[in-house]
């Protein structure tokens, strides 16, 4: 398997398809790079180089005990870009991966990156605080941790409902897609999955978004039951110097059906133009 080794000796698995301008994908919690296969195939088939990695603790990367925080996630992404000598890239992050991309851009700069996409992403801050009253109470995330620790297999199966909006009238999400989600989740180490909840829910990106000075497409479904729209995309766009908001009416958190097709078209157009 192709891997790179970080400065703290973590092996990060990556896949690298096609050639041309690089489009680099960061996945959400608690998944793997395989969730991006459709978008990677789209990019590689249209003359781009598609790259995605498994986050530390996830999939085929090392299941280490430490380093499950946004700084390490961003540094791991930097290690991949540096090792592969990536320049002129478009970064694409979904959910937790959106936080990873934002932290990379604020922590490592934009010398290797020209544009970015934040899809259903966790910035600016998911947790409810005095400064962020629209956020989710800490009890929501404590509940996730408790359910995950008690029976992770059942937890992941149940999570597919909200993730893909399978509980909404007219949902066409397939059982196979939900099974695929479960399978990817089961490749994640328990400690990495638990610690990642803290990383995606409690990391505050508010101060760093204004210093990210490249064009960024911020896409979000307005029926997202995982990362609520009201506390994410509009606030993120208001903080970014070059943010562009795309709302997907009625769309859930996870890509599926017509939502995925529309996003794919938007992604290809954004990369091309």
Domain ranges of the chain: 3-272
Residue 85 has pLDDT above 90, yes or no: yes
| Residue 224 appears among annotated catalytic residues | yes
- Which tokens go with 227? 């990362």
Handedness of CA 125, 224, 266, 101 (dihedral sign): positive
* Catalytic residue chosen out of the listed positions 76, 224, 231, 232: 224
The whole-angstrom separation of Cα 54 and Cα 48 is 20
User: Mean pLDDT across the stretch 125-139?
Assistant: 97
Residue of 95, 106, 201, 232 with catalytic role:
95
Q: Which member of 27, 94, 220, 253 is catalytic?
A: 253
- Work out the pLDDT band at 93, boundaries 50, 70, 90: very high
Helix (H, G, I), strand (E, B) or coil at 68: coil
What rounded mean pLDDT belongs to the chain?
98
- The answer regarding whether domain 3-272 maps to CATH 1.10.10.10 reads no
Q: Which residues pair with 220 in a beta bridge?
A: 247
pLDDT (0 to 100) of residue 89: 98
Q: What is the pLDDT of residue 1?
A: 85
Confidence of residue 56 (pLDDT cuts 50, 70, 90): very high
Judge if pTM exceeds 0.95. yes
Query: Terminal CA-to-CA distance of the chain, rounded, Å?
Result: 33
Could you confirm whether 253 is annotated as catalytic?
yes
Q: Given pLDDT bands bounded at 50, 70 and 90, which one contains residue 69?
A: very high
Alpha-carbon distance values, 252 to 1, 31, 167 (Å):
33, 16, 10
Inter-axis angle of helices 257-272 and 37-45, nearest 10? 40
Which segments of 109-229 does DSSP mark as H helices, in order?
138-150, 152-164, 175-185, 190-202
Q: Residue 102: is it exposed, middle or buried by C-beta count within 10 angstroms (0-12/13-18/19+)?
A: buried
């Amino acid at each position: 398997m192709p891997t790179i080794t970080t400065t703290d000796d973590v092996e990060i698995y990556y896949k690298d398809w096609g050639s041309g301008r690089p489009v680099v994908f960061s996945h959400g919690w608690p998944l793997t790079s395989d969730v991006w296969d459709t978008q990677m195939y789209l990019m590689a088939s249209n003359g781009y180089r598609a790259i995605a990695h498994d986050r530390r603790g996830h999939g085929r990367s090392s299941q280490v005990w430490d380093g499950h925080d946004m700084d390490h996630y961003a540094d791991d992404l930097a290690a991949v870009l540096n090792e592969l000598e990536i320049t002129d890239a478009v970064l694409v992050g979904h959910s937790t991966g959106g936080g990873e991309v934002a932290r990379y851009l604020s922590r490592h700069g934009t010398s290797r990156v020209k544009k970015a996409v934040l899809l259903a992403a966790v910035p600016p801050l998911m947790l409810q605080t005095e400064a962020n009253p629209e956020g989710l109470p800490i009890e929501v995330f404590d509940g996730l941790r408790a359910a995950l620790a008690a029976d992770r297999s059942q937890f992941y199966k149940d999570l597919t409902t909200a993730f893909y909006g399978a509980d909404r009238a007219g949902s066409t999400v397939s059982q196979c897609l939900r099974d695929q989600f479960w399978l990817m989740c089961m490749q994640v180490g328990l400690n990495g999955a638990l610690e990642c909840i803290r990383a995606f829910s409690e990391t505050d990106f508010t101060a760093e978004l204004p210093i990210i000075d490249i064009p960024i497409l911020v896409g979000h479904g307005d029926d997202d039951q995982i990362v609520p729209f009201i506390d994410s995309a509009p606030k993120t766009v208001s903080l970014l110097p070059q943010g562009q908001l795309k709302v997907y009416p009625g769309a859930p958190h996870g890509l599926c059906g017509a939502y995925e097709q529309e996003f794919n078209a938007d992604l290809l157009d954004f990369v091309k133009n």
